[in-house]
Amino acid sequence: MQEIRFHGRGGQGTVLATIALAKAFFKAGYEVQTFPVFGSERRGAPVEAYLRLDQRKILVRSNLYQPDHVVVQDLRLLELVQVTRGLKPGGWILLNAPGLPRDLGPFEGFRLAWVDAAAIALRHELGAKTQPIINTAMMGAFARMLGAPPLDAVTEAIMAEMPRNPEQNAAAARDAHAAVVLAGLVRGGRVALEAVGAGAPQGAAERQEVGR
């Protein structure tokens, strides 16, 4: 079983993204669970959403305390929330970021991936410059990072679930799937680049083990 925690802000579509991803995984043959946790219910407030997936029936019904991977939709949350709490050693952290963060200290012992979801969203006219709609781009990057679900399943879920601009959202997911940078384990303040974009040979076997 794999457990993933998503960090976002109110209005960024974090919960909607996890629901669409759950449906994409289900279509790909996985058993799934997804549920959100809200703090202050206001636009811009930190939001968490969770995704469980397995190829067998999921019997656990508890909260999610030790995720295998983490997705962070807003870099500013790093100053407000301990996004790595409970994260298993070697787990992936996917960031919405234009490049490698200057301070790698918070990511020590974890694998780092990033994609400029904001730039991709704006290129597809999703949202405004001050608040791009990045959730579908993050979905595409997430699917590439884990090696599942298939991109076709992701775009089909987006077309079915996104209330506005489904074609642009699906295109953003495809672009992010190709553009995500998959980096190696952060150790001693350094990270060895594993792969850029799709077709990366390193780490592929690990990502294919999702749900086993």
Domain positions in the chain are 2-207
The residue among 208 and 95 whose pLDDT is bigger is 95
Q: List CB contacts of 92: < 8 A, sequence separation 6 or more.
A: 68, 69, 70, 110, 111, 112, 113, 145, 146
Distance CA 136, CA 124 (A): 11
Q: Which residue has the higher pLDDT, 212 or 123?
A: 123
pLDDT of residue 194: 59
pLDDT recorded at residue 198: 38
Kindly indicate whether the domain formed by 2-207 is annotated with CATH number 3.40.50.2300: no
Cis preceding-peptide flag for 36 (omega within 30 of 0): no
The burial class, CB within 10 Å (0-12 / 13-18 / 19+), for 170 is: buried
Residue 204 vs residue 95, higher pLDDT:
95
What's the whole-model pTM score? 0.88
Residue 41 has a CB neighbour count (10 Å cut-off) of: 8
What is the pLDDT at residue 13? 87
Q: What pLDDT is recorded for position 208?
A: 35
At 95-153, the pLDDT tens digits run 999 998 888 999 999 999 999 999 999 999 999 988 899 999 999 999 999 999 999 99
Residues 211 and 54 sit within 8 Å (Cβ to Cβ): yes
pLDDT at 190 over 50: yes
pLDDT tens string 20-77:
999 999 999 999 999 987 655 566 788 999 999 999 999 988 888 999 999 999 999 9
> What confidence score (pLDDT) does residue 188 get?
87
Residues in Cβ contact with 11 at an 8 Å cutoff, skipping those fewer than 6 apart = 43, 44, 131
